[in-house]
């Protein structure tokens, strides 16, 4: 293995450091081969030896400390103190066999802590699983084959490919480099990209001057390279400074901040109500002695604990995480929680065409040259198919020569790899470049023969600004000269050409011939073919001499070539490729339209190609396509008007995307934007929801995005929007349930004390104070009804009409005014029904009864529990009937059954009867409680019916984008 790059005593670079050694020496030291890489078995052995390629983090907080965190809330601490005081009073008075009240309070505190701990642990596990899904990957050579593996599995000696837009996964020594530039600001503070080369450095060099090394965590912004991994994990430069990095704070989304504010406001309100209620009790009742005073105070604490939804953050995190996992199963990987809540309000999806709206299975269909055209059959990446020449009989020989030269140029100006995989064929690299290789194979151009004649020695990489790439090759047929082959956008490439290939001759390009070529290009585009131009040139003798030194290196390296290489080119022909629309994309566009979401196509392709595909997908029928050149000429106001009308943008670059996003946002749209390149990062960050391509996307675009499409499919975006809407709707559901139920408890206690005379409680207060419910009963209700039922509502299946509602208005809060109205209505129904049942069970009051206080409180206790369980069904929508989709969520029914069983235990188990001061109820009592409690369902159904009729009266506007509110 390699020696350490620094002396452990002095910290100075050692003579044996990788950057001071030739590539061959480094490869030998690491016992690896640049072409075959490591064997999988050897890689696994080294992984066991060196460990995973990850940075160590602070040791996780012990589980027992996480559990004790559940007891740090002030209200929970007050309950623990109350339990201790209750036990002390029992020790003094010994009025029961055991301190049942103290046991009950303490047991409920423990159970609540267990539930909170389990919910938080589940949320942590879900978040960890999602982080694993979005973990970085590396392109590596193993057993002679290039493949993609998790970057955490890299080991010293692995051969890795680095391309523009990649995040470097480990420290590595370059062995081949083509104009590679990396940004190392995170390590050196230098913001200007660093140009890399292969040659060894003779003396000691500072980190920023090690131009033959790439470092973990830095980003490749130009070119590509082959490198051998020299250090992983904590042995990397990044690893050595990892100890100075603090753990990033947990992400808090606007939704979570809003819920935090709601929770704090509720806490203040409930504390004020509890204080007012305690004051009212002291004023209205004859409270004497420490025991009675303590009972009143503990009631106030219990009411505050029950009414404040302290478990809300854990439930929200759990629901968000579970929803994100459901999205991941549908190939949409959420990188930032904020995207989940923003997806529900998306009004525009601005999508790339290739691979997102289309299959990204490029196939060459047509090659047009000076003497005619060639039609290629076959599909996909299998190099099998027929070639039909279309031209005059006299021109067949010339056409054949032009076809071979054009396909040779396309195959050489190429970085993809075609290889057999199982029963089929696969392309490693860009799909368009793969299709060009397949076309060359169909024409009989074999890689062995091409490699033998045209060995690559340099490259001018593709960039989105230049829209072309070139490679430089030796030519064994002309050893004294070099050959440049170029491919790119036809209009851009043609401007660099001075001649055209006709047969075996190069003839000057006339203005008329240029016009004919562009007309042929338009004709191909009108058939929905993506077009590329190919060209070549022979470098002058003096340029050949200047570049000849490159041929002497066994490990090839090319520095940055200036654009003067890409001039005086000979135009070889046009290549038309088909990338058929995805069959599911048209349905997804229609679904988005029904949901009030506008689809926009943004592509670098020809405007006519874009228009044909857009019409076929239903994005725009016969619509106008605006080009990047037109966008550059527009003022901000003109672009604002354009984006309101135009849904097709062609020949655009990433800067144009940024302007389109800004214009849409100025129009009030919530924009989801896709991207895959390095230069797409600004637009992805600027969009409300940045969406990176998981297959073709660069690491830079993924890092900038909020969401990654694992399958690069437009339909996945629409499915993610539907899931995002469902998640937000579910959060509103359990908020509606928790808040209305807790407000019902508060109103029951408050008005029970205030109306004690009217409901027959006051005459039973011979020993000081009598309350509608005991503190332990309130805590029990909170335990059995606020836990499992609320969580199962949070994972309710999406409503059938979730994509038939308009998007949620931008900036609308999670709790709307109409929601608050429904919450207080339900709370009022609960408290009224519970107090009426209590009144009917006791002597006196408005309804004459005959029961004891224990019986009356047990009846009220049971009625309030049943109210909350019926309320579960109400809470599933502010508009839709509770009977709609009644049995879709089996977990909800299981949770309700569990709550009923727990409550029955409190009613019939002797030990729990002592703890909660309950008595056994008969079947008739249960029927009364259930009948009264069901009123919350029927009355809420009536109010929803009124809302639905109001909405129906304004139904036309409701279906329009951004008009009206959804049912949740």
Q: Give, as one character, the DSSP assignment of residue 815.
A: S
φ, ψ (nearest 5 deg) of residue 894: -65, -40
Q: Does residue 629 contact residue 652 with C-beta atoms inside 8 Å?
A: no
Q: Does residue 568 contact residue 537 with C-beta atoms inside 8 Å?
A: yes
SS3 content of the chain, % helix, strand, coil (to 5): 50, 15, 30
348-352 and 671-675 strand pairing: parallel
Rounded to an integer, what distance in angstroms lies between the CA atom of residue 780 and that of residue 865?
9
Q: Is 150 helix (H, G, I), strand (E, B) or coil?
A: strand
Q: Please say if 799 is a catalytic residue.
A: no
Rounded to an integer, what distance in angstroms lies between the CA atom of residue 151 and that of residue 939?
58
Compute the radius of gyration of the chain from its Cα atoms: 36
Rounded to an integer, what distance in angstroms lies between the CA atom of residue 793 and that of residue 950?
27
Q: Does residue 599 contact residue 672 with C-beta atoms inside 8 Å?
A: no
Rounded to an integer, what distance in angstroms lies between the CA atom of residue 259 and that of residue 341?
13
Q: Does residue 607 contact residue 652 with C-beta atoms inside 8 Å?
A: no
Strand partners, 137: 150
Among the options 352, 605, 878, 925, which is catalytic? Answer: 352
Strand partners, 459: 471
Closest CA to 405 of 577, 565, 539, 536: 536
φ, ψ (nearest 5 deg) of residue 65: -70, -35
Own/partner contacts of 642-646, CB < 8 Å, gap of 24 or more, are 643/667, 646/620
Rounded to an integer, what distance in angstroms lies between the CA atom of residue 429 and that of residue 421?
15
Rounded to an integer, what distance in angstroms lies between the CA atom of residue 885 and that of residue 453?
69
Please list the alpha-helical segments (H only) found in 285-373: 289-307, 312-329, 338-343
Place of tokens 């409270």: 287
Per-position DSSP letters for 735-799, written without gaps between them: HHHHHHHHHHHHHHHHHHHHTTTTTT-GGG-TTS---SS-HHHHHHHHHHHHSHHHHHHHTPPPP
Q: Which residues are catalytic?
A: 352
């Amino acid at each position: 293995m390699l020696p350490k790059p620094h002396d452990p005593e002095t910290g100075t670079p050692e003579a044996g450091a990788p950057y001071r050694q030739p590539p061959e020496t480094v490869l030998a030291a690491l016992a690896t081969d640049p072409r075959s890489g490591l064997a999988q078995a050897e890689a696994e052995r080294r992984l066991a030896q060196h460990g995973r390629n990850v940075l160590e983090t602070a040791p996780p907080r012990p589980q027992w400390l996480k559990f004790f965190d559940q007891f740090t809330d002030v209200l929970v601490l007050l309950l623990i103190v109350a339990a201790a005081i209750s036990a002390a009073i029992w020790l003094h008075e010994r009025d029961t066999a055991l301190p049942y009240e103290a046991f009950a309070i303490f047991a409920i505190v423990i159970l609540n802590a267990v539930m909170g701990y389990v919910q938080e642990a589940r949320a942590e596990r879900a978040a960890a699983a999602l982080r694993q899904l979005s973990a970085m990957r590396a392109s590596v050579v193993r057993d002679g084959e290039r493949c993609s593996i998790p970057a955490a599995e890299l080991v010293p000696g692995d051969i890795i490919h680095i391309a523009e837009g990649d995040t470097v996964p480990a420290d590595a020594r370059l062995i081949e480099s083509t104009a590679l530039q990396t940004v190392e600001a995170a390590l050196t503070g230098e913001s200007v990209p660093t140009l890399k080369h292969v040659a060894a450095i003779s003396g000691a060099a500072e980190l920023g001057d090690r131009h033959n090394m790439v470092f973990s965590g830095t980003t490749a912004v130009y070119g590509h390279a082959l490198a051998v991994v020299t250090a992983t994990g904590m042995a990397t430069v990044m690893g050595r400074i990892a100890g100075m990095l603090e753990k990033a704070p947990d992400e808090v989304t606007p939704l979570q901040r809003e819920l935090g504010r709601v929770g704090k406001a509720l806490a203040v309100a409930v504390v004020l109500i509890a204080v007012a209620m305690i004051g009212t009790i002291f004023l209205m009742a004859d409270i004497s002695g420490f025991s009675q005073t303590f009972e009143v105070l503990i009631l106030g604490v219990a009411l505050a604990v029950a009414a404040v939804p302290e478990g809300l953050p854990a439930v929200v995190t759990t629901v968000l995480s579970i929803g994100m996992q459901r999205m991941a199963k549908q190939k949409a990987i959420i990188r930032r929680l904020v995207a989940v809540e923003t997806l529900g309000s998306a009004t525009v999806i601005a999508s790339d065409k290739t691979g997102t709206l289309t299959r990204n299975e490029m196939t060459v269909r047509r090659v047009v040259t000076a003497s005619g055209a060639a039609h290629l059959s076959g599909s996909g990446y299998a190099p099998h198919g027929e070639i039909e020449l279309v031209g005059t009989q006299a021109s067949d020989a010339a056409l054949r020569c032009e076809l071979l030269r054009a396909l040779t140029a396309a195959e050489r100006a190429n970085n993809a790899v075609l290889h057999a995989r199982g029963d089929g064929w696969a392309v490693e690299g860009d799909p368009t470049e793969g299709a060009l290789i397949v076309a060359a194979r169909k024409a009989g151009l074999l890689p062995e023969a091409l490699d033998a004649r045209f060995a690559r020695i340099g490259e001018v990489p593709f960039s989105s600004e230049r829209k072309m790439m070139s490679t430089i090759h030796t030519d064994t047929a002309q050893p004294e000269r070099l050959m440049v082959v170029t491919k790119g956008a036809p209009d851009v490439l043609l401007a660099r050409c001075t001649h055209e290939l006709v047969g075996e001759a190069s003839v000057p390009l006339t203005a008329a011939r240029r016009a004919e070529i562009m007309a042929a290009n338009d004709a191909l585009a009108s058939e929905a073919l993506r077009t590329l131009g190919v060209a070549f040139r022979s470098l002058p003798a003096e340029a050949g001499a200047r570049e000849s030194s490159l041929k002497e290196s066994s490990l090839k390296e090319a520095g940055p070539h200036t654009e003067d290489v890409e001039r005086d080119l000979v135009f070889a022909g046009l290549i038309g490729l088909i990338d058929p629309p995805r069959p599911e994309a048209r349905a997804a566009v229609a679904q988005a339209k029904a949901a009030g979401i506008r689809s926009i196509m943004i592509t670098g392709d020809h405007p006519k190609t874009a228009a044909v595909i857009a019409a076929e997908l239903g994005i725009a029928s016969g619509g106008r396509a605006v080009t990047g050149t037109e966008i550059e000429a527009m003022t901000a106001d003109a672009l604002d008007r354009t984006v309101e009308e135009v849904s097709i943008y062609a020949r655009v670059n990433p800067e144009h995307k940024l302007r389109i996003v800004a214009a849409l946002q100025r129009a009030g749209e919530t924009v989801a934007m896709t991207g895959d390149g390095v230069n797409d990062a600004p637009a992805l960050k600027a969009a409300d929801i940045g969406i990176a391509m998981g297959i073709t996307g660069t690491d830079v675009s993924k890092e900038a995005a909020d969401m990654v499409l694992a399958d690069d499919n437009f339909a996945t975006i629409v499915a993610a929007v539907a899931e995002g809407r469902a998640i937000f709707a579910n959060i509103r559901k359990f908020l509606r349930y928790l808040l209305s139920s807790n407000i019902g408890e508060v109103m029951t206690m408050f008005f029970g004390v205030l109306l004690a005379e009217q409901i027959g409680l006051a005459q039973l207060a011979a020993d000081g104070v009598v309350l509608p419910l005991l503190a332990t009963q309130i805590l029990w209700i909170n335990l059995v009804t606020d836990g499992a039922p609320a969580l199962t509502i949070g994972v309710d299946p999406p409503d059938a009409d979730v994509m038939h509602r308009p998007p949620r208005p931008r900036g609308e809060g999670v709790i709307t005014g109409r929601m608050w109205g429904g919450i207080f209505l339900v709370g009022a129904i609960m408290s009224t029904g519970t107090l009426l049942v209590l009144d009917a069970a006791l002597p006196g009051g408005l309804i004459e009864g005959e029961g004891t206080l224990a019986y009356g409180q047990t009846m009220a206790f049971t009625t309030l529990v049943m109210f909350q369980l019926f309320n579960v069904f109400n809470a599933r929508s502010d508009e839709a009937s509770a009977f709609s989709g009644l049995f879709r969520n089996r977990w909800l029914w299981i949770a309700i059954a569990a709550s009923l069983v727990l409550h029955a235990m409190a009613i019939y188990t002797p030990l729990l009867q002592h703890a909660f001061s309950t008595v056994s109820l008969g079947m008739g009592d249960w029927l009364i409680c259930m009948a009264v409690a069901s009123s919350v369902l029927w009355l809420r159904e009536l109010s929803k019916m009124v809302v639905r009729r109001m909405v129906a009266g304004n139904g036309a506007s409701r279906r329009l984008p951004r008009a009206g509110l959804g049912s949740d």
